[in-house]
Amino acid sequence: REACGGHGYSRVNRFGVLRDDNDPNCTYEGDNNVLLQQTSNYLLGVYEDLRKGQRVSSPLESIDFLNNSASILAGHFSAKSVSQCCDPAVSLAAFRWLVAYHLQESEKRLSSQLSSGKDAFTARNDSQVYYCRSLAIAFIEETALARFYALAHDGDTPREIRPVIQKLCALYGLWALEKHLATLYQGRYFVDSGAGKLVHDSVLHLCDELKDEAVSLADVFAPPDHVLQSPIGHSSGQAYQHLYQAVIMAPGALARPSWWRDFLVKPVLGQFDDEDAQDGSAGQSKL
Choose the catalytic residue: 2, 29, 141, 213.
Answer: 29
Quote the longest CA-to-CA distance of the chain. Answer: 100
Active site residue 29: yes
Measured over the CA atoms of residue 145, residue 36, residue 2 and residue 225, the dihedral's sign is positive
- Which residue blocks in 116-194 are alpha helix, DSSP H? 120-125, 133-152, 162-178, 181-186
Euclidean distance between CA atoms 31 and 115, whole angstroms: 29
The rounded distance, in Å, linking the Cα atoms of 14 and 233 is 10
Which residues make Cβ contacts (< 8 Å) with residue 78, sequence separation at least 6? 84, 90, 93
Collect all residues with Cβ–Cβ distance below 8 Å to 227 and sequence separation of at least 6: none
**Which residues are tagged catalytic?**
29
